[in-house]
Amino acid sequence: MNRLAVAALLAATTLASSANAADKPLEARGTWSVTTRGSAPLPPMGWNSWNAFGTDIDEEKVIASAQLIVDSGLAAKGYRYVNIDDGWWAKRRQADGRVLIRTDNFPSARTADGNTSFRPFTDRLHAMGLKAGIYSEIGRNSCGQIYGDPTGPGQPAGTMAEREIGLYGHIDQDIALYFGEWNFDYIKVDGCGIRALAADSPQVKSGRLRALDPLIDYDTIPRTNIPAVKGLFDQVGQALSRNKPGNDFVLSICLWGSADVRSWARTLGNLSRTSEDISPNWERMLHNLDSASRRELYAKPNSWNDPDMLFIGSGEFDDAHLTEARSHMSLWAMLNAPLIIGFDLRKASPAMMGVLGNAQVIALNQDAAAHQAVLAYDGDSVQIFTKTLADGTKAVALFNRTGSPIDVKLIASHLKYRADQPITLTDLWDGDTKSFTNEMPVHLERHQTLLFKASGTREHAQGLYLSEQPGNVNPAVDGIVHPMADPMVYRGLLPWRSTKADGEHPVYGGWGGARADATPFAQTPKIAGKTYHNAIGTLANSRLEVRNTGFSTFTTLAGIDDSVADPTARVRFSVHADGKLLKQTGWMKPGDAPAAIAVPVKGAKIVELVAEGNRPEMQNVAVDWAEAALDR
């Protein structure tokens, strides 16, 4: 079936129920549209075999790391998923389509009838108090089969059909096997098979793998069949729900930021990769960090941005690079990234175990308020991230991206604390405490992240700005009609390509997405000549869902951002509570003073903020919900 036929079929089935929603995307509906399938109320924590072993995996290696997770106390600190990645499969048996396990490597999977089963393996992990994760592929062939050495370890064997171990055409059967029969708790689903197997690809031309007309064009978003990709992942989610009616599962979407997954992952999956693979080097860590760091409004309880697994312990994050290892850990914690260890823990030094096991840093990642950190200062050299915590305090990370020491200043307004009152900081790596008023000089060594818990007197004492609670603000419709690649992601040398190309290009869809304390195009929000440091910036024709966690009033200054060049653009703003209209402005034009809105929202669960444009496509028209806050 070609990709358009697949899209038509999926559109007719899986997406039919959302037809009304698609017709009137700006209509307030009083619901929170983040998926309720699966269970990841906080970022998942655990271990995965890939960064440590590639496809060269076996039971001994996995169980050894699992045992160390328990014995070292990491499990008690929250690391509980033990996930096998690519390389576990022997083949797909043609008689009945059952996927068989490489029993030479996983001896406990041997069965008398030859069916093979991971049940003893998952039983063992469960008996250790852990959860078990498996890996599959949405196409017919895995990334390891496509990009790896065909003669290397972990490659499925047999005929071309036997080597088609991916979910494509077998979603229900495979998910029933992995979850119903084998009792896994977590699945990472990769997508190389729907990306790389065009008829003219080397893998197909050599006769090694079967062609599958690519649904994803990795480099060219408009040539990707986004509804078809989404439809396939939706089918996986439905199968998971059928096989795990208790909803205790995790679906990890591994599309590396392609297929505009940023815009839809929250409706289908529990974590979603925002970039290509991490490598154990500094430049690559920056790239992966950037792919998630400006998507603070797109991470939510039950659906997290995934900048890929930790590489702590290896390469430029090993014992000789403690500063870098701590930075990697600090940043992933602040971003609410899944904390998935990618190291052979048998080789981990006490120092590395200390980095992975820093309880206070883990606590930031697992904080109950579940807000991804927001960039309070953004630049190519230094970034300052802040995060509002459930206990009312804040965390702040000052990050030196460069290879030289830098002196910077932390100012009270980075924390949205009052400049005339003392602010106390506790260093989460060395325990030091200090106080300052107004501003504090900070010296950062090369690649260093200073990570503090902070307490002070809030600027906005009567409530919380929306930009302080990104986990409660969901851009259900962000106004993007034609996804564009995000140019803000650091484009370091790709380790597996070096300079054998014309350069690294922006690739991940997301430019123009809604932002906290920035416009969708990374400027300071500004209306009628006045800048605002507290705002949600989004595009015209957007609808934001805001979870009201017990506040009584919503206030904002709404207007068209001064960056808008089109004098004919008109936008009207409305605020709704549980689907009911509370306030609508008139049509506003660029340069107009903002409309002051203050509405009661007591008892309402969902406040919706709609910015309706005068044309259906207004992708360059930025609007600001300035000073937007929920107050007591």
Chain residues binding ligand GLA by CB under 6 A are 50, 85-86, 142-144, 190, 254, 256, 277
Q: In this structure, are strands 131-137 and 186-190 parallel, antiparallel, or unpaired? A: parallel
Contact 511, 484 (CB under 8 A): yes
Residue 397, classed as helix, strand or coil, is: strand
Which residues, 6+ apart, have CB-to-CB distance to 95 below 8 Å? none
Nearest-angstrom CA–CA distance, 361 and 366: 9
Burial 472-502 (b: 16+ CB within 10 A, else e): bbbbbbbbbeebbbbebbbebebeeeeeeee
The size of the chain, in residues, is 632
CB of 618 to ligand GLA, least distance (A): 35
Nearest to ligand GLA of 190, 562 (CB atom): 190
CB of 355 to ligand GLA, least distance (A): 21
CB of 467 to ligand GLA, least distance (A): 31
Q: Determine the residue with CB nearest ligand GLA.
A: 143
Q: Residue 179 has what DSSP assignment?
A: I
Residue 560, classed as helix, strand or coil, is: strand
Instruction: At 60, list the tokens.
Output: 């001994």
CB of 276 to ligand GLA, least distance (A): 7
Nearest to ligand GLA of 277, 545 (CB atom): 277
CB of 265 to ligand GLA, least distance (A): 15
Q: In this structure, are strands 439-444 and 423-427 parallel, antiparallel, or unpaired? A: unpaired
CB of 135 to ligand GLA, least distance (A): 6
Nearest to ligand GLA of 60, 149 (CB atom): 149
Nearest to ligand GLA of 48, 383 (CB atom): 48
Nearest to ligand GLA of 77, 102 (CB atom): 102
206: buried, middle or exposed (CB in 10 Å: 19+, 13-18, 0-12)? exposed
Nearest-angstrom CA–CA distance, 143 and 585: 51
Nearest to ligand GLA of 190, 517 (CB atom): 190
Instruction: At 347, list the tokens.
Output: 């080789």
72: buried, middle or exposed (CB in 10 Å: 19+, 13-18, 0-12)? middle
391: buried, middle or exposed (CB in 10 Å: 19+, 13-18, 0-12)? exposed
Nearest to ligand GLA of 305, 455 (CB atom): 305
Nearest to ligand GLA of 55, 302 (CB atom): 55
CB of 306 to ligand GLA, least distance (A): 10
Nearest to ligand GLA of 234, 277 (CB atom): 277
Q: How far apart are the two ends of the chain, measured CA to CA in Å?
A: 56
Q: In this structure, are strands 81-83 and 406-411 parallel, antiparallel, or unpaired? A: unpaired
CB of 86 to ligand GLA, least distance (A): 3
Nearest to ligand GLA of 78, 191 (CB atom): 191
Nearest to ligand GLA of 142, 263 (CB atom): 142
Instruction: At 603, list the tokens.
Output: 């008892």
* Helix ranges restricted to H, 160-305: 171-175, 202-205, 226-243, 261-268, 282-293
Beta bridge partners of 553: 600, 631
Instruction: At 327, list the tokens.
Output: 């930075």
509 φ, ψ (degrees, to nearest 5)? -55, 145
Q: Residue 351 has what DSSP assignment?
A: H
Nearest to ligand GLA of 147, 587 (CB atom): 147
- Asked whether the CA dihedral 146, 210, 204, 159 is positive or negative, the reply is positive
Phi-psi region of 247 (alpha: psi -120 to 50; beta: other; left: phi over 0): left
